[in-house]
Amino acid sequence: MNVSQSADTVWNNPVGRLLTLLVGGGLVAGVLTIYPQLLPVVRWVVPVSLVFWGASRLYRYGVADSLSLAAGCLLMLGGFTYASYLLISMGELAGTVAQLVPVVGIFVEMFAAHYRNQG
């Protein structure tokens, strides 16, 4: 059994997936404890990855599928709004909307992935 088959076996098992995520989270927490200057890098990973995720949806599925188009645009908009939330001091309503847009984008992407897998 090679490494990729072993990784697939562990990842396909729910307990193995949970343990993998816990070990990964523990490693990130340990690194941040040892090197606290990396915290801003970790803080900016979320908005940057949302923008890249949205751009990849647009690149991969194009504009023909309207649900994938909406998901990609909302993910990119969510990345920009969350980045602006991190940069600018906002009121309660603006901060809530800035954090809610990425959540809506993720849910739309989940629906789009569901409908892509259906047919």
Give the lowest-confidence range in 34-43, 45-54, 92-101: 34-43
Q: Are 70 and 108 in contact (CB under 8 A)?
A: yes
Reported pTM: 0.73
Q: Give per-residue pLDDT as tens, 88-117.
A: 999 999 999 999 999 999 999 999 999 888
Domain ranges of the chain: 1-34, 38-118
Could you give the CA distance from residue 77 to residue 85 in angstroms, rounded to a whole number? 12
Angle at alpha carbon of residue 51, lines to 45 and 57, rounded to 5°: 130
Residue in 65, 100, 68 with CA at minimum distance from that of residue 81: 100
